[in-house]
Structure 1
């Protein structure tokens, strides 16, 4: 078994596998890949988690947290760019690790990519719901709290789940359903849809920065790094690092682009451009945006689900921007869910292709040429999770899942951010990983295509 855990697939095998059977449609250009990256990166991290991270961890020093997280992502982004050009297949980090580190590590990374992408869709849907309800209230359309809030939340203990009194977060479920349908009908249609909503959210973000600068009160930046409260992660430099760990979630989109390598027209050229360009553009926007936000309103008031809307409500001269910004926030989070759904379906596709998941996960729609079953499974799972749990709890799970495998590329920076996330989140990661180990031992190890080939058995039939 130890030999099997270290078994690798050569780059030639991956290229052969990519070129034969289950071909996805090559339709994406470098521009579309960059827009997919921006669409995946800018979302809940800037419109929701900025407030939580500033109020509970970093204070006005939130821009430093974005810089720290951006440095960690830069190391990883360079690695992704090189691997995506060298191994242009749909499995992203899962396929790269299979070619270099072996099947056991590949399974481990693939399983935690599920924690990243699938839970990201659920997390963003919960944040999307908060902005949608707020916008509908502005239009005098009221959704009852029982149908727009998570019915479950974390109690005092790590695994203590308590009822909130709500029934279900219905808006979160509905938006996931819509996104899943778009992803199901084709990658080209998804890219066009993403380009439109990315244009909307970038326009709104630039408007907020340009008009918000004149309302900055520099007193809100003092002290720039609030003194630590005595607890790790609550302000001070440990708070800056803790906030970096939380808002690292905001950078997830840069690696999601690599899952679309098999659908890129010229992956060797276009994938590095898409990954690095989107990462640089979004990091600059994050730093400027968070600087303006924490200057407009005290960080102590930002621990709300819609911090940007709160900042606009404070100034009468900016209230006209309230509705456009909510539309931009909704568009931004919609694009994040779109990119994450695309990514997760293709991770399922790649793992099923290698025999580590049941073959139906790898089925490609004969007309739309998309991983149909993987898309449906992602949508249904994310809708259930987003409809039941709050954004704060889900955001921590996604961040540590991303950092856990990304730290291979930026070990020092990402490792420090992981430590700052606290023992409760770590314990959930251990439980999640344990579940993955059981699934691999029971199913993946027995059905691995590499193992069957090494033993002289015919590989499992690929899904049609």
Structure 2
């Protein structure tokens, strides 16, 4: 732990340019995206009905509890490794690798899901503004997934050019200095929040209260179809909407006064997002019956129930595009910082930790991530990966809660600028149990995808990370040095003992020779 703190304080290769307001914008930019603009309507139509409002409240509380634990650890260890570094300090290298690799999955699948959703909204915007029917040959992947048959099928399309285009754009933006990236993100965040507020206050006067009844539609015989259990299933489905406040912790080494600014940004972004989501969902399910919300652009569709013309639809579509842009941008930023920390510890190739001399960004890691995401978002059915992101986030948050509890006992003397309130175990324990409860709604295909990713991680760790770990190499070096030192001391003692033991005999022999 002392070595970690020394590295953070004295060996920081990154530039500290970000203030608390920019960090707050990073959190909001990462959180508000596909979760509310795409998944909210689908969850209401398929699982919960009007009680989607309660689903967003429950998931918001779970995210808020996780942000409290993140805040304590982030203020103690302001490292770009985020939960990977926290786990390394508390639970050791192997579990740190598992959670670091899992967090990489979280951000990677977020990028892919968000860029594909971005492309769909851009196509919708072009259709609204110009009545130009964009050919699906260049806006859809050639392969798709049939959820019912659980198999891939050929779509007959060529490539998803919009997804590739936005991926290249955010990759280029990340290659410049973090300060410029944060400014662009801040502008887009302010823009999308203004549009969300316009939607809420402009449409609330046209809410039909009859659409709120029944608030819990009668269950149709299965766990996920309406009723209270359907509302819980919707919690798992929309939890993706709150993933992203943890992005703030991945830029801790680029933040000014991280001990104060990190808790403000993480908790603040979670609370603001929760309030906005409650307002959006309340208006959305009040404008039209929930059965009509099964759409990839539900907020745009419900505007048709108001007397507002095309202007609000266009504005809402632009807000969705801005939201998905910031969410994808911050997800890629976070993934490259996690991999930077893992490479810094030797668990990934050193190329991921290479810092550009002028921009002070891990530029090779950014390029690798950008190329990978551009290729896969263009040709693969990555839109099925959103739920896999949710399970990754839930497991990550469980580890954060556990780390808080462990470090309260193993590192009692460490200064805690922001301790989790109500003791060392209450909030982390409740937060962990709620995360486990949400994992009950994970589908089998999602579980299989997560296991495949985990298996790939195990192969990489035991074929590379285990043998190149800087901690392991350091331990071996110390062991060999101590062994050599021990052998040298034994040889010295033995030589002295032999000299002392044979000294009388040597003296006698010399006397005889003289005689």
What TM bracket, shorter-length normalisation? Answer: over 0.9
Which consecutive residues of structure 1, in runs of 5 or more, have no partner in the other structure? 1-9, 459-464
Counterpart CA distance in 1 for 2:112 and 2:141 is: 12
Counterpart CA distance in 2 for 1:19 and 1:56 is: 50
Q: Give the corresponding residue for 2:260.
A: 269
Matched, 1:417 2:438: yes
Q: Give the corresponding residue for 1:442.
A: 463
Matched, 1:91 2:81: yes
Tell me by how many angstroms 1:390 deviates.
4.6
Distance change >3 Å, CA 156–CA 211, structure 1 → 2: closer
Q: Give the corresponding residue for 1:130.
A: 120
* Pick aligned residue for 1:146 from 137, 146, 169: 137
Residues 378-418 of structure 1: CA distance to partner in whole angstroms, max 9, x if unpaired? 21222223223456512111111111221343222111111
Matches within 5 A, 1:342-361: 342-361=333-352
Counterpart CA distance in 2 for 1:346 and 1:79 is: 20
Residues 147-189 of structure 1: CA distance to partner in whole angstroms, max 9, x if unpaired? 1123322235786222222222211110111011111111000
Q: Give the corresponding residue for 1:426.
A: 447
Distance change >3 Å, CA 292–CA 107, structure 1 → 2: same
Contact 2:35 2:241 in 1 (8 A): yes
Secondary structure at 2:153 match in 1: strand
* Pick aligned residue for 1:247 from 238, 241, 258: 238
Q: Give the corresponding residue for 1:329.
A: 320
How many residues are matched? 448
Q: Give the corresponding residue for 1:216.
A: 207
Contact 2:376 2:382 in 1 (8 A): no
Residues 190-224 of structure 1: CA distance to partner in whole angstroms, max 9, x if unpaired? 11001100111001000000011112112222211
How large is the RMSD of aligned CA atoms in angstroms?
Answer: 1.7
Counterpart CA distance in 1 for 2:150 and 2:473 is: 39
Tell me by how many angstroms 1:138 deviates.
1.7
Contact 1:356 1:443 in 2 (8 A): yes
Secondary structure at 2:14 match in 1: coil
Counterpart CA distance in 2 for 1:288 and 1:252 is: 19
Residues 80-110 of structure 1: CA distance to partner in whole angstroms, max 9, x if unpaired? 1011110011001001100001111111111
Counterpart CA distance in 2 for 1:436 and 1:237 is: 37
TM value normalised by structure 1: 0.93
TM value normalised by structure 2: 0.84
Q: Give the corresponding residue for 1:168.
A: 159
Counterpart CA distance in 1 for 2:205 and 2:216 is: 23
Report the more deviating stretch, 146-155 or 200-209.
Answer: 146-155
Q: Give the corresponding residue for 1:118.
A: 108
Distance change >3 Å, CA 229–CA 149, structure 1 → 2: farther
Which consecutive residues of structure 2, in runs of 5 or more, have no partner in the other structure? 402-430, 480-515
Contact 1:245 1:417 in 2 (8 A): yes
Tell me by how many angstroms 1:326 deviates.
0.8
Distance change >3 Å, CA 82–CA 361, structure 1 → 2: same
Residues 305-331 of structure 1: CA distance to partner in whole angstroms, max 9, x if unpaired? 111111113434253201111111111
Matched, 1:305 2:296: yes
Secondary structure at 2:105 match in 1: helix
Distance change >3 Å, CA 190–CA 125, structure 1 → 2: same
Tell me by how many angstroms 1:303 deviates.
1.6
Contact 1:241 1:416 in 2 (8 A): no
Distance change >3 Å, CA 255–CA 436, structure 1 → 2: same
Counterpart CA distance in 2 for 1:226 and 1:75 is: 29
Secondary structure at 2:477 match in 1: coil
Report the more deviating stretch, 378-387 or 36-45.
Answer: 378-387
